[in-house]
């Protein structure tokens, strides 16, 4: 009897007692549902917590400053900056060559004078908000997914755009504008340059006007404006074409004011951070915090997996019980099969495939149900978060390893549960064929 | 040894044009003893059985309930091994066969026909026969199954399940299944026991015809004197002892 024959026999045997088969499949499906739903929710919640700890960016992000680190930098998550230390393209290239580092994203911050509307001559007649000094943070917006930036409303500036700008809550506070009121309006920005005149050190501005396209929460650098890095580099070039403004406005000598260094994985975070520290740069990353939180999350995962495993264990007992009943019912059939020449392993395979089929069907049904429940939980949680004015959580990502593990795991577990009944069936004496005849 | 061919050899030196005769495959029991436990009681199922059945023979075994008929059939069919004595079927020494070898013996040498038919309810007539064929590693199982069902007169019943067949039809499916792997010995345990007289006789006619065509040895266990009388030789078992 080949595998196809055995599978066909197993499938038909299941259909003979549809109610029992359905209940057994439901037991497996319920166990799998619980495991998948808990796994999905725990995984999403875990990554969300890590993301929160790393200020909205990936947990592997290291924030590096254009400053010399002090001797205690290696022992703390905090930034331990001393004197200025330029970050050059050479520094960036050196970091990018490390196998522990997945990406290095340069950051350029520039001090600016921000003027909310109204502008121009009307300003004299209209009482508007006063201009304020702040910082414009320039990044490669194409890599925003790898940066601690969260879009609260609107969108990010287009890459390389010199007319798009995103604002932070700092701008809203200074301008007394609401999110909806600010979106789509324009802002005037003066990029300063120091120069010497007969009256001494003076400043002049390179004025730009940009449209506010989004509101963001960002931890790349402190500042009211987020712009494409090209805009910030123009501001730097303008400042460098002037003179050193001393303590008031020193020349931005470092090509980059900072960088976001992404470790290849959480396991590489420590090594990546050691490299940055080893190069002498002050840096900050929630390394120790993430590590200890991950330990707690791991405990939560184990507890949830334990709950799921208990459910699957109960399902496995259901499978074993159903198969034991089937063996009792089919004693004569098993005897007849042996009498006509079936080997022990043919009988074993028949029952194991029956258990496996229950596991596969239950696993698939349970996995789909589990994912749907996780999705439903996500929708409910997001409803609550939006009512509270909080940013929603990204649920519903399909974790293929989880799906594969759930279907394969439940199938193998069901088959394992079928081993004892299958062995019992395989060891039945062929004499059963004529017993009681 | 496999069949020689029609008209070339036969028992007793008489050639029959329509009869295929096998040489070998004789059944030989020497001082076979077998006991089993029934609760705390030890029951002597067979006592010093000496029996020789020639190849292509047709033998009936009668006796009251509990006489040991089914036990003897089980031993010859390789469903269990004799506890004492020698048992040979053709070239097979059943005392020496174990596990897969014993299964292979049952598959290739023996064809069982049970009183209770022993069909799997979940399979159609064709699938029941095909299942037995699938136990042998050969091709064309479906064709062989259909051909045999055709031969036993069930051409229109291929896809019927046992529950949709009459008793006589079920027994004919069981006979087709017994023959699908071309055995040299057919063991029929009360083959007419669950059938009315007319159906029983038709089943017996069929068994005898197929036995003649294929040259098999046929051993029928029966309570029914009319059935037993049709055999070439008759033996009676009583309390585990063989009475000529």
Residue A124: φ, ψ to 5°: -70, -35
Instruction: Report yes or no: A329 at the B interface, CB cutoff 8 Å.
Output: no
Q: Give the nearest partner residue to A437 out of B132, B181, B189, using CB atoms.
A: B189
**Chain B environment of A334 (Cβ under 8 Å):** none
DSSP track, A165-234: EEE-HHHHHHHT--HHHHTT-EEEEEEEEEEEETTEEEEEEEEEEEEEEEEEEE-SSS-SEEEEHHHHHH
B100–A339 C-beta distance less than 8 A: no
Do A7 and A114 fall into the same domain? Answer: no
- C-beta separation of A432 from A331 below 8 A: yes
Minimal Cα–Cα distance from A340 to chain B, Å?
5
pLDDT of residue B4: 30
B103–A342 C-beta distance less than 8 A: yes
Nearest alpha carbon to residue B85 among B45, B34, B37 = B34
Do A216 and A320 fall into the same domain? Answer: no
Instruction: Report yes or no: A434 at the B interface, CB cutoff 8 Å.
Output: yes
| Averaged pLDDT, B38-67 | 88
A333–B77 C-beta distance less than 8 A: no
Instruction: Report yes or no: A1 at the B interface, CB cutoff 8 Å.
Output: yes
Do A42 and A140 fall into the same domain? Answer: no
Is the pLDDT confidence value at B120 over 60? yes
Q: Give the nearest partner residue to A13 out of B122, B178, B189, using CB atoms.
A: B122
User: Which structural domain range is residue A220 located in?
Assistant: 61-285
**What is the total residue count of chain A?**
437
Percent of chain A with pLDDT over 70: 92
Do A205 and A80 fall into the same domain? Answer: yes
| Averaged pLDDT, B184-204 | 87
Q: Which of A285, A303, A325 is the last residue of a domain?
A: A285
Q: Which residue of B has its CA nearest to A340?
A: B107
**Nearest 5 degrees, angle CA A248-CA A229-CA A206?**
50
B177–A12 C-beta distance less than 8 A: no
Beta strands A101-115 and A164-167 are: unpaired
Q: Which of residues 205-234 of B touch A (CB under 8 A)?
A: none
pLDDT of residue A146: 82
Do A305 and A378 fall into the same domain? Answer: yes
**Chain A environment of B108 (Cβ under 8 Å):** 341
**Which residue stretches of A251-330 are H helix?**
269-278, 287-329
Is the pLDDT confidence value at B145 over 80? yes
| Residues in a beta bridge with A125 | none
pLDDT of residue A57: 60
Do A177 and A322 fall into the same domain? Answer: no
| Averaged pLDDT, B7-11 | 32
Q: Give the nearest partner residue to A433 out of B79, B123, B131, using CB atoms.
A: B79
Instruction: Report yes or no: B35 at the A interface, CB cutoff 8 Å.
Output: no
Do A379 and A395 fall into the same domain? Answer: yes
Q: Which of A285, A314, A337 is the last residue of a domain?
A: A285
B115–A339 C-beta distance less than 8 A: no
The whole-chain average pLDDT of chain A stands at: 86
Q: Which of A216, A250, A285 is the last residue of a domain?
A: A285
DSSP track, B24-35: S--EEEEEEEEE
Q: pTM for the complete prediction?
A: 0.66
Instruction: Report yes or no: A433 at the B interface, CB cutoff 8 Å.
Output: yes
Minimal Cα–Cα distance from B188 to chain A, Å?
11
- What confidence tens digit (pLDDT) does each residue in A114-155 have? 988 877 544 444 555 678 889 999 999 898 888 888 888 899
**Which residue stretches of B90-230 are H helix?**
99-108, 125-134, 141-151, 167-179, 197-214, 225-228
Do A197 and A311 fall into the same domain? Answer: no
Do A276 and A226 fall into the same domain? Answer: yes
A336–B135 C-beta distance less than 8 A: no
Is the pLDDT confidence value at B3 over 60? no
Is the pLDDT confidence value at B24 over 70? no
ipTM: 0.85
Minimal Cα–Cα distance from A426 to chain B, Å?
11
Range name among A35-49, A97-111, A172-186, A417-431 with the lowest pLDDT average: A35-49
**Chain A environment of B133 (Cβ under 8 Å):** none
| Residues in a beta bridge with B219 | B59, B187
Q: Give the nearest partner residue to A340 out of B73, B107, B189, using CB atoms.
A: B107
Structural domains of chain A, count: 2
Half-sphere exposure of A181 toward its Cβ, with a 13 Å CA cutoff? Answer: 11
Q: What class, spelled out in words, does domain B56-80+98-243 have in CATH?
A: alpha beta
- What confidence tens digit (pLDDT) does each residue in A243-271 have? 988 888 888 889 999 999 998 887 888 89
Percent of chain B with pLDDT over 70: 89
Q: How far is CA A425 from the centre of its chain?
A: 49
B136–A340 C-beta distance less than 8 A: no
């Amino acid at each position: 009897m080949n595998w196809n024959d055995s599978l066909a026999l197993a499938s038909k045997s299941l259909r003979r007692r549809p109610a029992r088969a359905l209940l057994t499949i439901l037991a497996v499906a319920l166990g799998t549902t619980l495991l998948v739903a808990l796994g999905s929710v725990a995984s999403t919640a875990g990554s969300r917590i890590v993301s929160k700890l790393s200020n909205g960016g990936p947990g592997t992000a290291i924030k590096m400053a254009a400053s010399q680190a002090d001797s205690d930098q290696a022992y703390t998550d905090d930034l331990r900056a001393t004197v200025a230390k330029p970050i050059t393209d050479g520094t960036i290239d050196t970091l990018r060559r490390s196998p522990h580092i997945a990406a290095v994203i340069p950051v350029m911050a520039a001090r600016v004078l921000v003027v909310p509307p109204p502008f121009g001559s009307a300003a004299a007649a209209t009482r508007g908000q006063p201009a304020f000094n702040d910082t414009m943070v320039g990044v490669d917006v194409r890599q925003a997914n790898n940066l601690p930036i969260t879009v609260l409303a609107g969108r990010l500036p287009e890459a390389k755009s010199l007319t798009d700008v995103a604002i932070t809550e700092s701008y809203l506070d200074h301008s007394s504008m609401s999110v909806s009121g600010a979106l789509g309006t324009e802002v005037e920005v003066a990029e300063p340059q120091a120069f010497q005149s007969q009256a001494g050190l003076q400043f002049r501005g390179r004025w730009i006007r940009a449209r506010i396209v989004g509101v963001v929460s960002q931890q790349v650098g402190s500042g009211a404006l987020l712009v494409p890095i090209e805009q910030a580099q123009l501001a730097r070039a303008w400042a460098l074409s002037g003179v050193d403004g001393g303590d008031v406005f020193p020349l931005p000598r470092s090509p980059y004011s900072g960088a976001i260094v992404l470790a290849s994985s959480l396991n590489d975070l420590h090594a990546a951070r050691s490299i940055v520290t080893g190069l002498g740069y002050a840096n900050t990353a929630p390394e120790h915090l993430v590590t200890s939180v991950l330990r707690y999350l791991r405990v939560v995962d184990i507890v949830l997996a334990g709950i799921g495993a208990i459910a699957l264990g109960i399902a496995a007992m259901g499978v074993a019980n159903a198969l034991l009943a089937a063996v009792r019912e089919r004693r004569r059939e098993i005897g007849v099969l042996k009498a006509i020449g079936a080997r022990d392993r043919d009988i074993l395979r028949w029952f194991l495939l029956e258990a496996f089929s229950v596991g596969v069907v239950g696993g698939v049904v349970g996995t789909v149900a589990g994912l749907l429940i996780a999705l439903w939980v996500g929708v409910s949680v997001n409803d609550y978060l939006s009512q509270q004015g909080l940013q929603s959580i990204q649920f519903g990502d399909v974790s293929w390893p989880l799906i594969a593990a759930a279907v394969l795991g439940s199938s193998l577990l069901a088959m394992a549960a079928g081993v004892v009944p299958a062995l019992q069936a395989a060891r039945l004496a062929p004499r059963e064929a004529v017993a009681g005849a | 040894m496999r069949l020689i061919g029609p008209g070339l050899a036969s028992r007793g030196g008489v050639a029959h044009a329509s009869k295929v005769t096998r040489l070998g495959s004789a059944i030989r029991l020497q001082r076979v003893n077998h006991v089993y436990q029934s609760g705390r009681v030890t029951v002597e199922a067979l006592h010093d059985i000496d029996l020789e059945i020639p190849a292509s023979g047709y033998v009936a075994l009668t006796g009251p309930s509990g006489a040991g008929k089914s036990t003897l059939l089980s031993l010859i069919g390789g469903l269990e091994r004799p506890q004492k004595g020698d048992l040979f079927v053709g070239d097979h020494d059943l005392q020496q066969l174990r596990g897969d070898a014993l299964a292979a013996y049952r598959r290739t040498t023996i064809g069982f026909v049970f009183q209770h038919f022993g069909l799997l309810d979940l399979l159609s007539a064709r699938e029941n026969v095909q299942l037995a064929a699938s136990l042998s590693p050969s091709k064309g199982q479906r064709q062989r199954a259909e051909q045999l069902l055709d031969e036993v007169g069930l051409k229109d019943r291929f896809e019927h399940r046992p529950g949709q067949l009459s008793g006589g039809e079920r027994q004919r499916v069981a006979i087709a299944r017994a023959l699908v792997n071309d055995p040299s010995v057919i063991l029929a345990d009360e083959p007419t026991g669950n059938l009315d007289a007319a159906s029983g006789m038709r089943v017996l006619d069929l068994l005898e015809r197929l036995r003649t065509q294929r040259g098999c040895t046929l051993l029928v266990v029966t309570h029914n004197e009319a059935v037993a009388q049709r055999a070439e030789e008759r033996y009676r078992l009583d309390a585990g002892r063989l009475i000529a």
